[in-house]
């Protein structure tokens, strides 16, 4: 067989190999994107918006996963869970007489639960990023509650916004208290039941 024939065959084989590698890499990227989108849900879209694109967002989410995997996250003991539930009921009941104190107490309770479960609590943004790995569907409630809490400290919100802050905090609080084997789909969120059973509805304006 002439030399040029071998060269042609080699080039064709090389092209096939390159195309196969490209196709394989593309398939792996798609699988990774699908996995991250399924795992993080709305947090995936938020990351795309804040990071400025899909590739940067996925890089950030993968970094969150790697950091989270190094943490020693544990469930609360039944005793701790009961203690926090009682503390929350007292905080919520106190909203009627002192909404500002109740919002601050809600923020403190969430932080205490996070600390006891093993989440680093030094920086809020990092805290939210860590929470998003385990609780991507409710972390945005934490951000919203935190924003309202900061606004309260500046004297910029009234009772209705304070009530919203309590509901946001409670959404994450209840999620953090649940045993890991319980799924969120089996529970009604405070936001979903707010209109019917939110105890803060009796607060004075």
Token readout for 187 is 């529970």
Angle subtended at Cα 28 by Cα 23 and Cα 31, rounded to the nearest 5 degrees: 125
Answer yes or no: do 53 and 98 share one domain.
no
Q: Are residues 84 and 174 in the same domain?
A: yes
Stretch 145-159: mean pLDDT, rounded?
A: 96
* Residue 200 is assigned to a structural domain of this protein: no
**Domain range holding 14?**
3-69
pLDDT digits (tens, 9 = 90+) for 186-195: 344 343 444 3
- Please give the model's pTM, rounded to 2 decimal places: 0.74
| Number of compact structural domains in the chain | 2
Assess whether pLDDT exceeds 50 at residue 151: yes
> In the structure encoding, which two tokens stand for residue 104, read together?
């601050």
Look at residue 19 and tell me if it is in a domain.
yes
Note whether 135 and 65 are same-domain residues. Answer: no
Residues 87 and 202: their CA atoms lie apart, in Å, by 19
Tokens of 86: 């009682």
Whether 192 maps to a domain, the answer reads no
Looking at the structure, tell me whether residues 87 and 149 fall in a common domain: yes
Mean predicted confidence (pLDDT) in 163-187: 81
Residues 95, 52, single domain; the answer is no
In a shared domain, residues 87 and 174? yes
Do 85 and 39 lie in one domain? The reply is no
Nearest-10 crossing angle of helices 124-134, 54-69: 90
Tens-digit pLDDT profile for residues 13-54: 777 777 676 767 667 777 777 888 888 888 998 999 888 888
Statement to judge: residues 63 and 83 lie in one domain: no
């Amino acid at each position: 067989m002439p030399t040029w024939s071998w060269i042609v065959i080699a080039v064709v084989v090389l092209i096939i190999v390159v195309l196969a590698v490209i196709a394989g890499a593309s398939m792996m990227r798609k699988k990774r994107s699908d996995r991250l989108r399924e795992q993080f849900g709305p947090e995936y879209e938020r990351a795309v918006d804040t990071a400025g694109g899909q590739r940067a967002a996925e890089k950030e989410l993968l970094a969150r996963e790697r950091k989270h995997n190094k943490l020693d996250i544990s469930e609360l003991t039944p005793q701790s869970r009961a203690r926090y539930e009682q503390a929350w009921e007292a905080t919520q009941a106190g909203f009627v007489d002192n909404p500002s104190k109740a919002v601050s107490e809600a923020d403190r309770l969430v932080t205490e639960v996070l600390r006891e479960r093993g989440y680093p609590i030094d920086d809020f943004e990092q805290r939210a990023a860590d929470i998003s790995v385990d609780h991507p569907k409710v972390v945005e409630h934490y951000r919203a509650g935190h924003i309202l809490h900061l606004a309260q400290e500046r004297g910029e919100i009234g009772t209705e916004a304070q009530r919203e802050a309590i509901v946001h905090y409670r959404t994450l609080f209840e999620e953090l208290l649940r045993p890991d084997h319980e799924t969120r789909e089996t529970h009604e969120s405070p936001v979903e039941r707010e209109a019917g059973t939110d105890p803060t509805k009796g607060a004075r304006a």
